[in-house]
Amino acid sequence: GQQVMQIPQYQHVQEGEDFTTYCNSSTTLSNIQWYKQRPGGHPVFLIQLVKSGEVKKQKRLTFQFGEAKKNSSLHITATQTTDVGTYFCAGISNQFYFGTGTSLTVIP
Amino acid sequence: NAGVTQTPKFQVLKTGQSMTLQCAQDMNHEYMSWYRQDPGMGLRLIHYSVGAGITDQGEVPNGYNVSRSTTEDFPLRLLSAAPSQTSVYFCASKDGGLGQYFGPGTRLTVT
């Protein structure tokens, strides 16, 4: 069946370092979305990528969608303590398939 | 707008009991969905609905029923609770091709 894998599962960084999480699907996706969940909170939508090779930026966050529409990445430049949380990708084919998430800890 | 609301916030059930998790949204979204979140497994889709009167199964539908009689409400029913259903349950809704809005979640423990 459809699988969306995400790596790494955990990432600890010093404040100011960069962070990247990767998302890979076993099948081609129509589009992909990214969500952030703070500890004890609910997922919050960040962005959607639709086109092959698409790159979008939100301040220090850069999102990419692979050429084959089977992988995606989220890169955060110069992390801050406010970036703490779990980042999920969600691949969309006939329904939503969430990745397992990457938990980011930022050490001040 | 209240967004997506869920009740209860916490619930403890005994094995074999049934209950309904409530979900409501006031944004007139056609699409609504239920997920369960377990440690290390991300969010798994249980059931979803693309509009009133229409429901469909997600990745892990066994043991759960849903109905969608109105646009606003999408309750999730546990037929006979099992310890394996201990989880955090999230309801979500969306408008068209945009991202989903999630409710605050229900923490369910089945003993």
Give tens-digit pLDDT for B19-29: 999 999 999 99
Q: Please give, rounded to a whole number of angstroms, the shortest distance from the CA of B104 to a CA of chain A.
A: 6
A14 has a chain B CB within 8 A of its CB = no
Average pLDDT over residues B86-109: 95
| Tens digits of residue pLDDT in A53-67 | 999 999 999 999 999
As a three-state string, the secondary structure of chain B is CCCEEEECCEEEECCCCCEEEEEEECCCCCEEEEEEECCCCCEEEEEEEEECCEEEECCCCCCEEECCCCCCECCEEECCCCHHHCEEEEEEEECCCCCCEECCCEEEEEC
Min Cα–Cα distance to chain A from B85, Å: 18
pLDDT value at residue A2: 65
Provide the pLDDT for residue A87: 98
Residue A106 vs residue B97, higher pLDDT: A106
A87 touches B at CB < 8 Å: no
The percent of residues in chain B predicted with pLDDT above 90, rounded, is 91
Q: Does the pLDDT value for residue A6 go beyond 80?
A: yes
Determine the pLDDT at residue B96: 84
Average pLDDT over residues A5-33: 96
A9 Cβ under 8 Å from any chain B Cβ: yes
Closest partner residue to A88 (CB to CB) among B33, B42, B104 is B42
B101:A45 CB<8 A = yes
Per-residue pLDDT, averaged over B83-108, amounts to 95
- Which residues in chain A are closer than 8 Å to B90, comparing Cβ atoms? 42-43
Q: What is the pLDDT of residue A3?
A: 83
Q: What residues of chain A lie within 8 A of the CB of B107, using their CB?
A: none
Q: How many residues does chain A have?
A: 108
Q: List, for residues A33-89, the tens digit of each pLDDT value.
A: 999 999 999 999 999 999 999 999 999 999 999 999 999 999 999 999 999 999 999
Chain A hits for B99, Cβ within 8 Å: 33, 35, 45-48
Interface check for B72 against chain A (CB to CB < 8 A): the answer is: no
Q: Please state, in angstroms and as integers, the Cα–Cα distance from residue A24 to each residue in A45, A55, A81, A105, B101, following that order.
A: 19, 16, 27, 22, 23
For residue A70, give both structure tokens: 């089977």
Name the phi and psi angles at A71, rounded to 5. Answer: -145, 160
- CB contacts of B48 in chain A (<8 Å) are 95-96
Give the model's confidence band at A1: pLDDT under 50 very low, under 70 low, under 90 confident, else very high. Answer: low
Q: How far apart are CA A82 and CA A25, in angstroms?
A: 28
